[in-house]
Structure 1
Amino acid sequence: ASQPATSPVATSTDAPAASRSTALPNVTPGGLAGLLDMIAANPDGIDLADLASALSFEVDDLFPLVDAGVMLGVLTVDAGHVTLTAAGRSWESADILEAKRVFAGLALKHAPLVKTIDHALKQSKSQELHGELFLDLLRGRHTDEEARQQFHIAVSWGRYGELFDYDADDDTLTLDEANKG
């Protein structure tokens, strides 16, 4: 009896598998940093309803930001009460360069698509790749619109963390100078 063939990519443990992760919440690092600032003003945390009221938004509008914060390990939520973690306090209180470094580490640890792009760029001889490569890979698990959204979120996060850059005109991802070596 013959064994079914398996894909070497699917069984490899060397590269992260973005397809095994949950989707990246549709938020920017700047938006999340702003949320952390609001929460940091309340040392014991704040109820989501009170936070939404302070921002003149609905609680549901906070969910993508809160989901991103939980995903990255900078927020915890318990019975509708949100607090900063130690990582959240570290990011929130850092100067801009340190904040970018902290965010980069969190994104590489907790956002598999960002880690996948970073890893692929580091493995590439030229340290540059076509963005369409990742869009095609994402389309295997997402609609075209979702794939584009996930790609653009990952690019936004990677740029903020100075991990990689993206030139949309040339469809080229490149490893950021700060991330080489």
Structure 2
Amino acid sequence: DEPFSALDVLSAEALRGELMELWLSKRLPIQAILLVTHNIEEAVWMADRLILMDKDPGRVIAELEVRLPHPRRRKDAYFQTMVDRVYATIAGRTEEQVPGKRPGEPGRAYRMPEARINAVAGLTEKLLEEGGWADLYRLAEELRYELDDLLTIVEAAELLGFVKVAEGDITLTPLGEAFAEASILARKEIVAGRILRLPIIRWIYETLHADDDGRVSADYFREQLQLDFTPEEAERQLDIAIHWGRYAELFAYDEDADELFLEEAPIPAIE
């Protein structure tokens, strides 16, 4: 289970080489090795068969055969194609946005990715530097992200309309380019316009505007979200919504009172 993850780069590479030498020379009295890793390049370099798994819930999503002779070269075109294929298989599982969702409506929950907007901004800035396009696995190396962390940020950027992912490549959209080049204030406005399309954010925003003083207990939102999610996931989704909403200045959060509120209370309607 991730035997090389806690090592420095040079030590990990040396031990991978030692293991592969022992395996290929048949000096190990075993018939198979099962390796769990988040490092896709490591998996393609070492393994003959890849089992790709998803989480929440954990399940097998694909099985790929690596038909490359040993020793393998990372710059080989087929090697890079296999790495791209793995990334494409995993990253391509982003769910489609479900419009019009309000908590409590069965079968229409949409899970927002747990990513910070600043991380999304960093991703778009890096892509802009790269000319608007990059290989996902090269990007992971350069940004020093674990696979799960990078894919969560990519999923958030894709949800906001800032990037597109296809065949292991990530491309900056015109909106993503505008966001990367924008000022802080303009970025907030862009994010506000995008996240108001998301069911949970829009529901919170409309609920606050419907309240007389524009303040609602966070417990209300937690309870409603638990109609669609487990208590743990409901809490996580609320935290994400608060972070994104505060970034875009759509609403704020009073930690002491545990309340969400509008910066400016809505004007009561005159009957």
TM-score range for the pair, normalised by the shorter chain length: 0.7 to 0.9
What residue number does 1:17 align with? 102
The CA distance in 2 between the partners of 1:70 and 1:29, in whole Å, is 12
Shift of 1:60: 3.5
Q: Is residue 43 from structure 1 mapped to residue 134 from structure 2 by the alignment?
A: no
Q: Which has the larger radius of gyration?
A: 2
Matched residue, 1:56: 144
What is the RMSD of the two structures over their aligned residues, measured on CA atoms?
1.8
Are 2:236 and 1:149 aligned?
yes
Aligned to 2:213: 126
Deviation at 1:92, TM superposition (A): 1.2
Alpha carbons of structure 1 residues 28 and 57: separation in structure 2 relative to 1, 3 Å: closer
1:38-93: CA deviation from partner (whole Å, max 9, x where unpaired): 11111240010110010123434311011111111111001111111121112111
Partner residue in 2 for 1:26: 114
Percent identical pairs in the alignment equals 35
Distance 1:16 1:119, change over 3 A: farther
Question: Which residue in 2 is equivalent to 1:6?
Answer: none
Code of the residue aligned with 1:100 in structure 2: it is K
Moved more, 60-69 or 95-104: 60-69
Give the whole-Å Cα distance in 1 for the aligned partners of 2:204 and 2:101: 9
1:16, 1:136 → 2: CA distance? 16
Q: Which has the higher contact order (CA 8 A, sep 6+)?
A: 1
> Which 5+ residue runs of structure 1 have no aligned equivalent?
1-14
Corresponding residue for residue 172 of structure 1: 259
TM-score, normalised via structure 1 length: 0.85
- Name the structure 2 match of 1:3: none
Q: Which runs of 5+ in 2 are unaligned?
A: 1-99
> 1:91 corresponds to which letter in structure 2?
F
Asked if residue 114 in structure 1 is aligned to residue 201 in structure 2, the reply is: yes
Residues 128 and 174 in structure 1, CA contact (< 8 A), matched pair in contact too: yes
* Aligned CA distance change for structure 1 residues 85 and 176 (closer, same or farther; 3 Å): farther
C-alpha distance in structure 1 between counterparts of 2:205 and 2:117, whole Å? 17
Deviates more, 1:150-159 or 1:47-56: 47-56
Shift in Å at residue 143 of structure 1?
A: 1.4
Deviation at 1:180, TM superposition (A): 6.2
Question: Does the aligned pair in 2 maintain the 1:48–1:59 contact within 8 Å?
Answer: no
